[in-house]
Amino acid sequence: MSTPTLQHPPAGPKPERPGGGLLDAKVPASALPLALRKLDPRIMWRNPVMLIVEIGAVWTTFLTIRDPSAFSVLIAVWLWLTVVFANLAEAVAEGRGKAQADTLRKAKKDTTARRLLDGGREEEVPAGELRRGDVVVVEAGQIIPGDGDVIEGIASVDESAITGESAPVIRESGGDRSAVTGGTRVLSDRIIVKITQKPGESFIDTMIALVEGAARQKTPNEIALTILLAALTIIFLVATATMQPFAIFAKANNPGVADGAALDTHGVTGIVLVSLLVCLIPTTIGALLSAIGIAGMDRLVQRNVLAMSGRAVEAAGDVNTLLLDKTGTITLGNRQASGFLPVGDVTEEELADAARLSSLADETPEGRSIVVFAEQTHGLRERHPGGLDHAEWIAFAAQTRMSGVDLEDRRLRKGAASAVADWVRAHGGEVTPALGDVVDGISAAGGTPLVVGEATGGHARVLGVVHLKDVVKQGMRERFDHMRAMGIKTIMVTGDNPLTAEAIADEAGVDDFLAEATPEDKLAYIKAEQDGGRLVAMTGDGTNDAPALAQADVGVAMNTGTSAAKEAGNMVDLDSDPTKLIEIVEIGKQLLITRGALTTFSIANDIAKYFAIIPALFVTLYPGLDALNIMRLSSPQSAILSAVIFNALIIIALIPLALRGVRYRPSSASSLLNRNLGVYGLGGVIAPFLGIKLIDLLIQFIPGL
């Protein structure tokens, strides 16, 4: 007997997503026009720090036009470059997504849909006219016109336009693999799809908006940091505004000071004060803050994960508890044969041969695994007993819970222990007590026992037991150790009995498990964790997972799952890989660490720039301040210009780090803090001293300085 199967084309390598490398000159070159367009004050007001820099650049330009000098021209140029470089960081981050968006738009074609009407009639309509609740027919070779659920039929679908994976997938009505995505192609058979999307809100539309940055809203942490940076800017603005009155007062009380002291002649004073303000306010993190957020979303999209909000990405970085389904996530999902345990005087090879023959008609994954295991362990592939051509094959059925084969002089059955035991007794045999001990031992170990029986003539007997086990995926223990080092508690969720669940949990290395879990149990567990002040993440794909996905701080729905699950979660994994939740958490932590590290670096930078500009500003009034000029810069003008140039160049230097992210290493919060303070805090202090001094050595010979 045979079962019809869907034919799949051979899987090819997964194509790389477009985008350019960080060092590719084409990336910043293509982003430059967008960076210049962002100079519009109506756009700049969203970044208060850089808006102040732009206002300062405008004022400096006005003073330079009124009274030009080499110093004022160079200051004006570098202030404008500072603003452009800040916009370039954001534009490069957005530009990397635009390349992906262009590819996605190719998948969003003007498709014609075959909409079903009452009475079974069809009408052809543009896909853009479909509304939620419409029912369409899609056959082999046609494009699915919109996101929806398969309500009738089964088909092989090419989703490479969405996921980048060339291997087709099966979509069928019922169950948790009914969802289809608009823009994908049906390769075989015929399906009827109920549209679940609203016009303009398909997954492709969502992905395009996300990768272009158009749908990105500032997260709560990002808003809080923006407010902090704005507050620091106001403080430095007030402090800078007092410098000129202070200089006038100080010169009035120091009659011996020359007229050119404190750089207050030739219209330069306003330029110096603007330079001081720009160098002291946190321009570095102000310039890179938006790019860091966009890059975090981009890293998720590159892994085929749609984050419906930036809040979810940040929450992933703070997650304390992970809920992971056992089947398909921690284990392979299909129980596989792992051993043959004979009973009585039966040899293991005899049991393996009988188990293989009785499983040839079993099309379940368990049955196929028995055939493969017998062939691998006992070399039975080439053995064909006589009479096989006239055999009567007994397919596995849920009613009988057995499969087998009837030969001319021998009958074999394999299946559930009670079913095979009853079959043996019905054919005149007896079941030895030893069978119960073997079956109970396998069950206690978390496995599934399948008994093999044989009947010859008027005699029947039990040959032994096949040990099936849900195989834990390779490397899962190491990944859970990795999570534990990050301070994250892992919980395995399963419908298995506690005994089986405990065995799998011990083998996989999770911290705890939730056995015989119902949707209510999952929801209650998540609420209990949240009541304890912990953030929870989980994955799911079924309608029964929707309440828990909605309650979780990070709910990752599988794209193959139901529409209810995808609407309840705040992330959708287009690859439908439940283990990707671990990567999502790492991306979230990397986003938070990158933002914190560059904020630390930016604030530390100001210390060195303070030592460059303040002594240069007042050394002629207060010679004692020369002790603070520890870099021994060549002149006040050179010191100020060097600090402004460094302030602009450091933004460009840090763009690759902002887009790539600071490398995350699992460790405690205190260790991460110490590392950031050591690397980015101390580095932020040292780098400007070296950079400003080097720039001073290069520009000191410019005429007019």
Q: Is residue 649 scored above 90 in pLDDT?
A: yes
Which pLDDT does position 500 carry in this prediction? 75
Listed in sequence order, the residues at least 6 apart from 590 whose beta carbon sits closer than 8 Å to its beta carbon are 296, 299, 317, 661, 662, 663, 664
Give the strand pairing for 169-172 and 148-158: antiparallel
Choosing from 325, 470, 573, 696, the catalytic residue is 325
More confident residue, 461 or 700: 461
Per the prediction, the chain carries an average pLDDT of 79
Q: Is residue 410 scored above 70 in pLDDT?
A: yes
Burial label for 295, CB within 10 Å (0-12, 13-18, 19+), is: buried
Active site residue 325: yes
Distance CA 68, CA 80 (A): 16
The binding site consists of 362, 366, 396-403, 414, 541, 545
Q: How many residues does the chain have?
A: 705
| Structural contact between residues 490 and 330, judged by C-beta atoms closer than 8 angstroms | no
Amino acid letter at 305? V
Q: Is residue 701 scored above 80 in pLDDT?
A: no
* Listed ranges 171-175, 347-351, 480-484; the one with the highest mean pLDDT: 347-351
Distance CA 336, CA 291 (A): 47
Nearest to 506 by CA among 568, 430, 559, 446: 446
Distance CA 186, CA 171 (A): 9
267: left (phi over 0), alpha (psi -120 to 50) or beta: left
Confidence of residue 65 (pLDDT cuts 50, 70, 90): very high
Confidence of residue 356 (pLDDT cuts 50, 70, 90): confident
Q: Is residue 15 scored above 50 in pLDDT?
A: no
Which pLDDT does position 53 carry in this prediction? 93
Q: Is residue 261 scored above 50 in pLDDT?
A: no
Give the strand pairing for 190-195 and 148-158: antiparallel
pTM given for the model: 0.65
Q: Is residue 693 scored above 50 in pLDDT?
A: yes
Q: Using the Cα atoms of residue 240, residue 245, residue 247 and residue 253 in order, give the sign of their dihedral.
A: negative
Q: Which residues pair with 554 in a beta bridge?
A: 537
Which pLDDT does position 250 carry in this prediction? 59
Q: Domain spanning 305-330+473-574: which CATH class is it, in words? A: alpha beta
DSSP 202-226: SHHHHHHHHHHTTTPPPPHHHHHHH
Q: Using the Cα atoms of residue 525, residue 527, residue 531 and residue 536 in order, give the sign of their dihedral.
A: positive
Q: Is residue 57 scored above 90 in pLDDT?
A: yes
Burial label for 584, CB within 10 Å (0-12, 13-18, 19+), is: buried
Q: Is residue 108 scored above 60 in pLDDT?
A: no
Q: b/e for 142-170, b at 16 or more Cβ within 10 A?
A: bbbbbbbbbeebbbbbbbbbbbbbeebbe
The binding site for ATP consists of 362, 366, 396-403, 414
Which pLDDT does position 268 carry in this prediction? 44
**pLDDT tens-digit readout, 494-533:** 877 787 788 888 888 889 988 888 888 888 999 999 998 8
More confident residue, 108 or 643: 643
| CATH number for the domain formed by residue range(s) 332-471 | 3.40.1110.10
Q: Where are the beta strands (DSSP E) in 353-501?
A: 392-397, 402-406, 411-415, 448-456, 459-472, 489-493
Q: Which of 201-215, 304-318, 675-689 has the lowest mean pLDDT?
A: 201-215
Q: Which of 38-42, 145-149, 265-269 has the lowest mean pLDDT?
A: 265-269
Q: Is residue 216 scored above 60 in pLDDT?
A: no
**pLDDT tens-digit readout, 369-388:** 888 888 888 776 544 444 46
Mean pLDDT of 135-150: 87
Element (H, E) at 156: strand 148-158
Asked: is 131-198 a CATH 3.40.50.300 domain? The reply is no
Which pLDDT does position 265 carry in this prediction? 36
The binding site for Mg(2+) consists of 541, 545
Which pLDDT does position 14 carry in this prediction? 40
Question: What are the structural domain ranges in the chain?
Answer: 25-95+215-299+587-700, 131-198, 305-330+473-574, 332-471
